Amino acid sequence: EVQLVETGGGLVQPGNSLKLSCATSGFTFSTAWMNWIRQTPGKRLEWLAQIEDKSNNYFISYLESVKGRFTISRDDSKSSVYLQMNNLKEEDTAIYYCTTGNWFDYWGQGVMVTVSS
């Protein structure tokens, strides 16, 4: 059974940082392209970042508006993907999901991030 479990969310003040983790199992993580997507309180879905697999040199793509603030990374030995989020803003408040592929065939349950003073 495929599982993706996000952790690391919570309440953080504007300007602070947070690192999300996504632990996976049930599929060949090392060849999977992994993504972070968020869903705002208004239910809008927004793709944030993607990291490809080793055969593609772990190529990374970002949504322009988070480039320089968010960093995606992966550890194939732990079947995990991460999202380091710096200089958080109130508009980053959302549920954050990790997903697989270019059409997102597997999703985690999501983790809530609230940015508020």
Partner 1 sequence: DIVMTQSPSSLAVSAGETVTINCKSSQSLLSSGNQKNYLAWYQQKPGQSPKLLIYLASTRESGVPDRFIGSGSGTDFTLTISSVQAEDLADYYCQQHYSYPLTFGSGTKLEIK
Q: Considering the rule CB under 8 A, would residue 33 count as an interface residue with partner 1?
A: no
* CA proximity to 101, closest of 62, 51, 48, 26: 51
**Total residues binding partner 1 (CB under 8 A):** 20
- Residues 6 or more apart whose Cβ sits within 8 Å of residue 48: 35, 36, 37, 38, 62, 63, 66, 70, 72, 83, 96
Q: Of 16 and 105, which CB lies nearer to partner 1 in the complex structure?
A: 105
Specify the residue, 41 or 44, whose C-beta has the smaller distance to partner 1.
44
Asked if 46 touches partner 1 (CB under 8 A), the answer is yes
Q: Does 43 bind partner 1 (CB under 8 A)?
A: yes
Q: How many CB atoms lie within 10 A of CB 61?
A: 14
Binding residues vs partner 1 (CB under 8 A): 35, 43-47, 50, 61-64, 97, 102-105, 107-110
